[in-house]
A = this chain, B = another copy of it.
Amino acid sequence: MSFWLQAALFLLLGHRTMALLFPLPQTVTSGNTVIAIGNSLDVIFKVQGSIPEDLAAAAERAVGYVTESEHYYLSPERGKEFLLDNDLPVLTALEIILQGSDYGTIASEVSKEAGERREAYKLDIPADGGNARLTATSSLGAFRGLATFEQLFYGVPPTDDGKAADLLSPGSQEVFGQRIRYKAFSPAAPYHIEDRPAFPWRGFMLDTSRHYFSKETILRTLDAMALVKLNVFHWHMTDSQSWPLSLPGFRDLAEKGAYSARETYNEEDVGEITKYAAERGIDVVVEMDMPGHTASSHHARPELVVGYAREPWTRYAAQPPAGQLRYMEDDVTQLMVDLLGKLKAHIPSAYFATGGDEINENVYKDDDRSQATLKRKGWTLKQALNAFMGSTWQALQPKIPVVWQEMVQEHRVDSLPDNAVVLIWKSSKDVSKIAKLGHPIVHVGFDHMYLDLGGGGNIIPPLGKKEPSWHAHPFNTWYHIYSFDPYKGVKANQRHLVLGGQTVLWSETTDETNVDSKIWPRAAAIAEIYWSGGGDNGFPLDPSKALARFQDLRYRLVAKGVSATPLQPHWCAIRPGSCEFI
């Protein structure tokens, strides 16, 4: 194709040839040259010491993803319009340059406290082929750059007659009657990207108690998280419905409390999942919610729980079955201390979540034994809670506790370390009250961040009865999540307390059958808030400006095997700008 034809094409298509990155890097400059990848792409490490093993593996995966991708450019021609020229500049290698000598591994960086992780990187892709250069001071930073690198490329689409690339000679593809020799292309080289996160805690929470999720599903979720630079997998492991955690010495808890022998996580599973996550830049923060949300421990150890499945459940719990830890008893405290001491050895994270939401005091008020013990010890319920929780946090040292907001707001548990992270869930508006208490805070307000809402309740109202407002809460759309302002209600001198945010999936009405579509692409919406930040215009961000990039991400996730929900008719998806709000 002549230069002039190419130039005319780019003028015509110009609005489309932006880098469709999600989350948006801090700075991106791009050009208008199509650059291709041929049959292979080498990875060249430039490091002062040894090549970090997990980064080398991640680079191999990134190259595999780019060269084998079935994610096609979102246009009616699915990218063929960029491939008219059979003589495109070809990228031959990706140089990964780790500056200094303390770059470590990805996993070693992830195991640090949130604020200490080095995630910055620079990426240059020249317009004339040759080597791309990814530069960072840490393996984790380079890993973040690999996610950006991946997102710059598109697979060569199948031919019009539906023949997939692999039916033709390797690395060759018939396009507009020509055979071309590319595996992938990027539409807008040269790229110069400088990037770092705006916030250190960008999370997603999965509840594996109300329904069980397989290891495969969790690993697939971690891969999707890594693609959008989410870095905290908050694993709400146990709850009142089932106890899937199986550890030596405590296997009976899962044997009797899990849904089945197969629906469990043992120490090997936890090890595999935390390692897989760490190698993908993700910190797994395990939660053993207590003293509420523990009824399922009753099946193996009835002595732990008061009020198991007691009715009417509305008096004793937020949802069935009722039942909470007898936290005023010494043996219960000791058992939980032993269990946490055991569990923490299996978890590389600097954090551990002890939960603490929705404690129902009626359970204890209506229980003679609880009352007798409190009287004997001369404790109020709050004093007993303070002592119990203090013991658990002691047992977990040096891990930093992560707690739901009730622990500091309602129960004022003063045994909580000052550096404990507080999750604000009851309302985003509560941030103004919580911030005063001085703890690092993470936004998980149900009004924006709960991915489970909007499908109706799981407690079915009989005919003529009105659904509780909680159950009738609207679906949190991706654009509603995206337009959350993490600084709303936060004073200027408290902004440093905002560690980040998380979407949350409580699994009342989610299991393996629909988990991907509940999470994705919505969980990615916060990646931009907490990675990219507010930029010059500040928060909230405008979702209509992110749509084209979010669409690209959605199809990219599907090509990775993640069943992310479509956002618009396919007609709209392949015609950015054609289905706009008027």
Q: Is A2 at the interface (CB under 8 A from chain B)?
A: no
Q: Give min CB distance, A348 to chain B, whole Å.
A: 28
B479→A461 contact, CB < 8 A? yes
Q: Write the chain B residue with the least CB distance to A315.
A: B582
Complex CA gap A459/B314 in Å reads: 40
B-side contacts of A480, CB under 8 Å: 456
> If the complex has contacts A475-B456, A517-B513, are A309 and B578 also in contact, measured as CB distance less than 8 A?
yes
Q: Which of B259, B540, B558, B580 contacts A459 (CB 8 A)?
A: B580
Name the interface residues of A521-564: CB closer than 8 Å to any CB of B.
540-545, 547, 558, 563-564
A513→B210 contact, CB < 8 A? no
A566→B463 contact, CB < 8 A? no
> If the complex has contacts A455-B475, A508-B568, A514-B517, are A463 and B309 also in contact, measured as CB distance less than 8 A?
no
Question: Which of A212, A312, A514, A569 gathers the greatest number of chain B CB atoms within 10 Å?
Answer: A569
B-side contacts of A563, CB under 8 Å: 513-514
B241→A540 contact, CB < 8 A? no
B321→A571 contact, CB < 8 A? yes
What are 17 A-B contacts with C-beta separation under 8 Å?
Answer: A162-B262, A319-B569, A320-B571, A456-B478, A456-B479, A456-B480, A458-B567, A458-B568, A459-B581, A460-B567, A463-B542, A474-B474, A509-B567, A509-B568, A510-B566, A513-B558, A514-B517
> If the complex has contacts A321-B571, A563-B514, are A461 and B581 also in contact, measured as CB distance less than 8 A?
yes
A543→B261 contact, CB < 8 A? no
B542→A458 contact, CB < 8 A? no
B-side contacts of A321, CB under 8 Å: 571, 578
Q: Give min CB distance, A219 to chain B, whole Å.
A: 19
B472→A455 contact, CB < 8 A? no
B477→A456 contact, CB < 8 A? yes
Complex CA gap A483/B462 in Å reads: 10
| Binary contact readout A291-324 vs B (1 if CB under 8 angstroms, 0 otherwise) | 0000010000000000001001110000111000
Extra contacts, 10 of them, besides A210-B569, A241-B570, A465-B581 (Cβ < 8 A), are: A259-B570, A296-B571, A309-B578, A313-B579, A320-B579, A454-B455, A458-B579, A460-B580, A474-B474, A513-B516
Q: Is A511 at the interface (CB under 8 A from chain B)?
A: yes
Complex CA gap A459/B514 in Å reads: 24
Complex CA gap A313/B579 in Å reads: 9
Q: Is A6 at the interface (CB under 8 A from chain B)?
A: no
Q: Is A565 at the interface (CB under 8 A from chain B)?
A: yes
A569→B162 contact, CB < 8 A? no
B-side contacts of A510, CB under 8 Å: 566
A508→B569 contact, CB < 8 A? yes
Complex CA gap A474/B471 in Å reads: 11
Q: Write the chain B residue with the least CB distance to A259.
A: B570
Question: Which of A162, A513, A516 gathers the greatest number of chain B CB atoms within 10 Å?
Answer: A513
Question: Which of A309, A566, A571 gathers the greatest number of chain B CB atoms within 10 Å?
Answer: A571
B-side contacts of A458, CB under 8 Å: 567-569, 572, 579
